[in-house]
């Protein structure tokens, strides 16, 4: 895999964001494989495609690409809020590639399976002022730090490509958590994010219960949060993300 962005003429593009989009999409088309099935290449979709940038012709998975020339940080700029929210709640939500580039090459690339996105990951931006060119436009941020670590699968780290087989294994592991129901998905991802916030590999049920107040705010219609926590912990155990040790103690099962 060549990590350098392609050298190509982008003179017809005036803004840096347009140039970066063209170069990063060309790199993806030339270099990236499908992390879902391992197919050697992805097809660039037409520029006016509403939902995604790339598709795998072998398995049909679709992908969107977000690129930044600065550290990813806590959030990533996204499109119109209500359209993005509708997309997250639909069955056609794309998987997401997040690229960090510097000095003309790819520094980091992460893929996030689509089912790790919930309405809670999306944050509304203030509407543009009446004097703005796009007056009234309501944009959004993807709150990157709210996505569970298990859904952030590194493809390239610190200018170094990871083994393709390991990436595909990690992706397949993440797919075990796929849930179509948006409410149940929200609960699962919130519980998984709570386990991420616990520093120790081995933790207790009380450590998870400590997040009950936070979870109650996110899910005000649920009046038995502790029972819901235990239910989701059992699901995470069944899917191989945590191990029950007995006596209300658990161990995180990390990616290999």
**Residue partners of 49: CB distance under 8 A and separation at least 6:** none
192's tokens: 């998984």
Give me the pLDDT at residue 142, please. 96
Q: 112-134 in b/e burial notation, b at 16+ Cβ within 10 A?
A: bbbbbbbebbbeeeeeeeeeeee
Q: How far is CA 253 from the centre of its chain?
A: 20
- Residue in this structure with the two tokens 């097809």, named with its chain if needed: 43
pTM passes above 0.85? yes
* Helix or strand holding residue 62 (H, E): strand 62-68
Angle at which helices 182-197 and 225-238 cross, to 10°: 80
Give me the pLDDT at residue 153, please. 97
Give me the pLDDT at residue 34, please. 98
Q: Are strands 95-102 and 62-68 parallel, antiparallel or unpaired?
A: parallel
pLDDT, mean of each 10-residue run, the chain (256 residues): 80 72 92 97 86 93 94 92 92 94 93 96 93 90 96 96 97 94 93 96 96 95 93 96 95 86
Is there a contact between 140 and 123 (Cβ–Cβ < 8 Å)?
Answer: yes
Give me the pLDDT at residue 18, please. 79
Is there a contact between 3 and 105 (Cβ–Cβ < 8 Å)?
Answer: yes
Give me the pLDDT at residue 124, please. 96
* Helix or strand holding residue 238 (H, E): helix 225-238
Is there a contact between 135 and 63 (Cβ–Cβ < 8 Å)?
Answer: no
- Domains of the chain, first to last: 16-175 (3.40.210.30), 182-252 (1.10.10.10)
| 55, 191, 197, 222, 225 from 216: Cα distances, Å | 38, 12, 17, 7, 7
């Amino acid at each position: 895999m060549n990590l350098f962005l392609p050298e190509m003429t982008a003179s017809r593009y005036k803004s840096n964001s347009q140039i970066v989009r063209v170069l990063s999409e060309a790199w993806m088309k030339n270099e990236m494989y499908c992390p879902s099935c391992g197919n050697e290449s992805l097809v660039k979709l037409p520029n006016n495609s509403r939902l995604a940038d790339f598709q795998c012709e072998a398995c049909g998975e679709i992908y969107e690409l977000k690129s930044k020339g600065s550290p990813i940080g806590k959030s990533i700029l996204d499109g119109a809020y209500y359209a993005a929210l509708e997309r997250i709640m639909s069955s056609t939500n794309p998987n997401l590639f997040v690229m960090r580039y510097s000095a003309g090459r790819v520094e980091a690339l992460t893929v996030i399976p689509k089912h790790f996105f919930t309405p809670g990951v999306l944050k509304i931006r203030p509407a543009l002022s009446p004097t703005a060119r796009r007056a009234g436009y309501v944009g959004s941020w993807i709150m990157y730090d709210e996505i569970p670590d298990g859904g952030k699968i590194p493809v390239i780290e610190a200018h170094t490509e990871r083994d393709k087989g390991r990436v595909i294994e990690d992706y397949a592991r993440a797919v075990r958590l796929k849930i179509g129901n948006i409410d149940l998905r929200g609960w699962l991802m919130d519980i998984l994010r709570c386990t991420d916030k616990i520093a120790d590999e081995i933790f207790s049920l009380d450590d998870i219960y400590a997040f009950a107040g936070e979870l109650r705010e996110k899910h005000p219609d649920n009046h038995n949060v502790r029972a819901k926590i235990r239910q989701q912990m059992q699901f995470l155990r069944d899917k191989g993300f945590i191990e029950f040790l007995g006596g209300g103690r658990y161990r995180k099962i990390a990616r290999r």
